[in-house]
Amino acid sequence: MSDYNTLLKELGLDVALHDEMIKATDRLFQETVGAQKNRPKEMAYFDRVLAEAHGARVAELVEEKRNGKRIVGTFCIYVPEELALAANTVPIALCGGIQASIPYAERMFPRDICPLVKSTLGLAFSKTCPYAPIKSLAVGETTCDAKKKTWEILAGKVNFHVMEVPQKKEKLDFDLWREAVDDFRRKLEDLSGTKVDSGRLAETIRIMNAKRRALQELAQLRQAEVVPISGVDALVVMQAALNDEPVRFTEAVKRLNQELRERIKNGISVAPGAKRIMMAGCPAVMGNWKVHALVERSGGVIVWDESCTGSRYFEHLVDETAQDLDGQITAIAERYFKISCACFTPNQERIDAIVRRAQEFNVKGVVQYVLQTCHGYNIEAMRVEAALKGIGVPALKVVTDYSEEDTEQLRTRIEAFIEQLA
Ligand code: SF4
Ligand code: SF4
């Protein structure tokens, strides 16, 4: 990483503070991801993506920018990546998963908001986010209150666009959402000076669908009785998905899948005898491996991850049969409208999907992962738990932040939960 310090300095970053934060994140990575035994060899690629997220990937994006592309920062998986790619821009997720940046956000923002939002803001405010100075546009959405109100503040400081994500899934809401998708297209066109044409959009839809298919296959491989990859490693893959160039990433996932197929064939499990667990709830973005690692060190192995750094990111494909731009925009809107974030009401599809996957993946228990002050996932956890009870699968709700203060307390609760599972 130090090779890139000159570049980071040129971008106006506080290099000394940045180094400190990277060291803290590296330590956590080594203690959680790196400390695992029997990792698939192909994981080396994804480890590198994470290690280079503030190095080689930044240099790559700076080069893209020099070549005329605009960088678009995003904060949510409702933002259609195929549209951004088709408009000759590069979308990149800006969500923060580290504790070290949070105090910088708390100097300005209330303490009692979600750690994901605070970590993201703290990275920007402390001049340690390399993407902040190179992005030409940030795209927020009307999902939760913490985000909506944050965008109002940020919009006064940087070029900002807010996508209207409705809160219900009726026809009226879909029409609004489709318009929001089309409005985003126009915004991107203004930014890049490139008209989105149907031919290029068909190509970027195929690129994103190929990425989703590869991730769907990876998820499916975790259904095997011989679990070929840990939940922590599967999370690393998803964290890389939000940062890496999509075509290169897809090829790496295919190579990993091939290795996992071999492992299953040869009976190589990462956790023989461990209890099969589903994680459900909030996303765990880059820098955050805390609860996944605790679950897998307490006798569990995660076989399904129902989150935005899990199935919500790759489930459902965009219909590739639309012939013109209008039809393609509708197809994109339809695919993203199927994502079941807890910001929707009611959100029965999410609950049904959790129950279905718990059965398909022979899950013995579900850990509901809730980031502090995330009311949507916290309250919805009651309905999820009740539905799981109906099929005899116990659930444990874990409400936490990014700090390490509650680690021992969580360990005790998670160990006790996993121990009593059938
Ligand atoms: S949890 Fe909801 S708001 Fe957060 S990234 Fe996922 S879809 Fe977006
Ligand atoms: S985890 Fe919850 S509170 Fe935090 S940004 Fe996502 S939806 Fe909002």
| pTM summary value | 0.98
Q: Residue 245 contacts by C-beta under 8 Å, 6 or more apart in sequence?
A: 60
Ligand nearest to the CA of 344: 1
pLDDT at 94: 95
Ligand 1, pocket-test mutation among 341, 345, 369, 380, most atoms within 8 A of CB: 341
Distance between Cα 371 and ligand 2 center (Å): 7
Query: Which residues have C-beta atoms less than 6 Å from ligand 1?
Result: 76-78, 143-144, 283, 308, 339, 341, 343
Tell me the average pLDDT of the chain: 97
Q: Which atom of ligand 2 is nearest to the CA of 115?
A: 4
Note the pLDDT tens digit of each residue in 63-77: 999 999 999 999 999
**Mean pLDDT across 361-375:** 98
Distance between Cα 308 and ligand 1 center (Å): 6
Do residues 391 and 398 lie in contact, with contact meaning Cβ atoms separated by under 8 Å? no
Per-residue pLDDT for 285 more than 80? yes
User: Which residue CA neighbors atom 3 of ligand 2 most closely?
Assistant: 374
Please state, in angstroms and rounded to a whole number, the distance separating the CA atoms of residues 362 and 365: 9
Note the pLDDT tens digit of each residue in 104-154: 999 999 999 999 999 999 999 999 999 999 999 999 999 999 999 999 999
Do residues 334 and 340 lie in contact, with contact meaning Cβ atoms separated by under 8 Å? no
Per-residue pLDDT for 388 more than 60? yes
Note the pLDDT tens digit of each residue in 196-229: 999 999 999 999 999 999 999 999 999 999 999 9
Q: Tell me, using a 6 A CB cutoff, whether residue 94 lines ligand 2.
A: no
Q: Tell me, using a 6 A CB cutoff, whether residue 116 lines ligand 2.
A: yes
Report the residue count for the chain.
Answer: 422
Please state, in angstroms and rounded to a whole number, the distance separating the CA atoms of residues 272 and 201: 45
Do residues 231 and 306 lie in contact, with contact meaning Cβ atoms separated by under 8 Å? no
Ligand nearest to the CA of 139: 1
DSSP 8-state secondary structure symbol assigned to residue 143: S
Please state, in angstroms and rounded to a whole number, the distance separating the CA atoms of residues 180 and 333: 9
Per-residue pLDDT for 400 more than 80? yes
Per-residue pLDDT for 377 more than 50? yes
Distance between Cα 364 and ligand 1 center (Å): 26
Note the pLDDT tens digit of each residue in 150-189: 999 999 899 999 999 999 999 999 999 999 999 999 999 9
Rg of the chain over CA atoms, in angstroms? 20
Residue with tokens 């492992």: 263
Do residues 356 and 385 lie in contact, with contact meaning Cβ atoms separated by under 8 Å? no
Note the pLDDT tens digit of each residue in 288-309: 999 999 999 999 999 999 999 9
pLDDT at 45: 98
Please, which pLDDT band fits residue 3 given cuts at 50, 70 and 90? confident
Please state, in angstroms and rounded to a whole number, the distance separating the CA atoms of residues 168 and 347: 8
**Mean pLDDT across 325-347:** 98
Distance between Cα 47 and ligand 1 center (Å): 24
Per-residue pLDDT for 194 more than 60? yes
pLDDT at 1: 47
